[in-house]
Amino acid sequence: MSALTNDESGADFVQLDHLIREFYRVICFEEGGAPDFEGLTALFSQDARITRITPEGVDHLDVNGFSAMVRELLELGAFTSFYEHELKRSAHRYGRVFHIASAYETKAAPDALDYLERGVNSLQVLLGPDGWRIVSLCWDSGSFEPDGRILFN
C-alpha cells in the first residue's frame, strides 16, 4: 500500500503519512489496556471536531468528549481490546489543508482472522504553527460494498 497519492513524495506527504500511522497507533490497545489518550490529543488541533455515525444516530464531539465516551465504554466493558489498521488511502492537498479518506479494518487483535468492521475515516488536516494537526474526523462504518470493496478507487 502506498500512502502517497499521485506519486507525490514531498516532505509534507511524508509528515502526513507519519500523522496517519500515529493516529492508528494511538487508538489501538491490547486486552485490558486503553488507547493512548495523550497521544491522541496531541494529533488533533485544539478546536478539532470528531463525528461518529452509527445506526443509532450521529455523535458530534470534541477530543475531550470523544476520550470521555471511550473511557465510559471501557468501564462498561463494551470492548476490552481494539485494533484498527489502514487498508487504503486517498489524500488530496489544497494549500495548507489535506483531505484524507482512509479505509480501515477493525479487529479485536492484530492477529485475529476475522474483522469486526470496515469503514472509511474522513479526516481534514491543517498545517498550523506547530505542524500538521487533525481538525476534523468523521467516520461511518457502512462505507463498504457488501462484498467488501472500498467505495473509492
26-50 residue pLDDT tens:
999 999 999 999 999 999 999 999 9
Name the average pLDDT for the chain: 88
Q: Decide if 140 contacts 91 (C-beta within 8 A).
A: no
CA 15 to CA 11: how far, in whole Å? 6
Return the pLDDT at 106: 92
Query: Which residue range is the domain that position 32 belongs to?
Result: 11-140
* Burial 109-137, CB ≥16 within 10 A → b, else e: eeeeeebeebbbbbbbbbbeeeebbbbbb
Burial of 102 (0-12, 13-18, 19+ CB in 10 A): buried
Residue 15 lies in a domain: yes
Give a yes or no: residue 33 inside a domain: yes
Q: Quick check: is 129 in a domain?
A: yes
Percent of the chain residues topping a pLDDT of 70: 86
* Nearest in space to 87 (alpha carbons), one of 54, 108, 117: 117
The total domain count for the chain is 1
The answer on pLDDT for 16 being more than 70 is yes
147 in any annotated domain: no
In this structure, is residue 145 part of a structural domain? Answer: no
Distance CA 143, CA 117 (A): 10
Q: Does 30 fall in a domain?
A: yes
**pLDDT classification of 150: cutoffs 50, 70, 90:** low
Asked if the structure places residue 107 within a domain, the reply is yes
Question: Which residue is it, cell 500523522?
Answer: 19
**Is the residue at 150 inside a domain?**
no
- CATH number assigned to the domain comprising residue 17: 3.10.450.50
Contact 43, 134 (CB under 8 A): yes
pLDDT tens sequence across 66-82: 999 999 999 999 989 99
| CB-count exposure of residue 40 (10 Å: 0-12, 13-18, 19+) | buried
Predicted model pTM:
0.86
Cα separation of 151 and 59, whole Å?
23
